Amino acid sequence: MPRIARRIRHRIELAGVRLLVALPRVLPLKISIKLGGALGILAFDVFRIRRRVVLENLDRAFGDTLAAGEKARIGRSSYVNFAKSIIEFASLGRLRKEDYPRIVRFEGLEHLKDPIARGHGVIAVTGHFGSWELLGAGVASRGLPVDFLVGEQANSLVNDLMNDLRRSAGIGIIERGVAARGVFEALKKGRIVALLADQDARKAGVFVDFFGTPASTFQGPAQFACRTGSPLVGCAIVRRQDETHDAILFPPIYPNAGADREAEVIRLTREHTKILEDCVRRYPEQYFWAHRRWKTKPPLNP
């Protein structure tokens, strides 16, 4: 794409994101969230954005245990949740520290606090589930030092705006270009490094079961744990009908010192993936099913 055309497109994208950011500033948050939910319905039922991918993924995950109509309902609800979560992300700049206890309730916060008190950093692992950006902001609002490991958006203007929103909520940023060094430094300082680990990792991943099918999964969380001794803590955030949230933090998973590194990476990856799967099984409408999670196939046995 010519440079001028790319600049114009990036400016248009930035204007769209700024409009979303402005929405919860000019309207009450709950009204903004409801409008976001309506956009999710439009995306699924009218514009049908990646609808086929969503339904194929639901077929793979649940098979004949759910009727076609129920899978469509889950897919629609997934888009509604995702759109509401975008509005909540856009609202980070307007929320105050004292707002979070009303919006996000925590269960298991000691699973982050205790390792930090003992001098460990923590690797917090979640997926595209619930309002995951709000989860990190809620942790930061409790006075815990948290950094997000983030990928760089193709549009640098949008990328900067997104990271500014995160920083406004007290979240530090580690960009993937300096991922290893930044993660090790953060963990050494006793910080929480939060990352998403539920997208297809292609050939760089390890294969662990997700809903009974091998899925290429990023090794990063397990590798960081093995190299630093820091525990993995699985996390999830669940939306309630009143648009408040329950954040659930699971017991730490520590790497076994002296264990075979390759086997340990697979074990840790399998365990945090199982935590996410259990949450998705319980609240399937809160998972973002539009990713091609099983795109990469495991190698054939010789």
Query: What's the average model confidence in pLDDT over 152-164?
Result: 86
The structure's pTM equals: 0.94
Tell whether 170 is covered by a domain: yes
Task: Tell me whether residue 298 is in a domain.
Answer: no
E-strand ranges in the chain read: 104-107, 122-126, 146-150, 172-175, 192-196, 206-210, 213-217, 232-239, 245-249
Range name among 5-19, 183-197, 252-266 with the lowest pLDDT average: 5-19
Identify whether the C-beta of residue 115 lies closer than 8 Å to the C-beta of residue 231: yes
Determine, yes or no, domain membership for 293. Answer: no
* Residue 246 in domain: yes
Average pLDDT over residues 117-125: 96
Judged against a pLDDT cut of 90, whether residue 21 lies above it is answered with: no
User: Is 297 part of any domain?
Assistant: no
Question: What is the pLDDT confidence band of residue 103, given thresholds at 50, 70 and 90?
Answer: very high
Q: Say if 65 falls within a structural domain.
A: yes
- pLDDT computed for residue 19 by the predictor: 79
pLDDT band for position 155 (50/70/90)?
Answer: confident
Task: Work out the pLDDT band at 302, boundaries 50, 70, 90.
Answer: very low
Per-residue pLDDT of 66-99, as tens digits, reads: 999 999 999 999 999 999 999 999 999 899 999 9
Closest by CA position to 276, among listed 260, 296, 291, 261:
291
Mean pLDDT of 7-31: 80
Quick check: 137 pLDDT over 90? yes
Please give the pLDDT value at position 6.
Answer: 78
**124 domain-assigned:** yes
User: How many domains does the chain contain in total?
Assistant: 1
Asked if residue 163 is part of any domain, the answer here is: yes
Rounded Cα distance between 40 and 20, Å, is 14
- Whether residue 176 is predicted with pLDDT greater than 80 in this model: the reply is no
Could you list the residue range(s) of the whole structural domain that residue 232 is in? 3-286
pLDDT in tens, 208-263: 999 999 999 999 999 999 999 999 999 999 999 999 999 999 999 999 998 999 99
Angle at 100 between CA 99 and CA 102, to 5 degrees: 75
Residue 14 phi/psi, 5-degree rounding, is -60, -40
Burial (CB < 10 A; 0-12, 13-18, 19+), residue 88, is buried
The predicted pLDDT at position 14 comes to 65
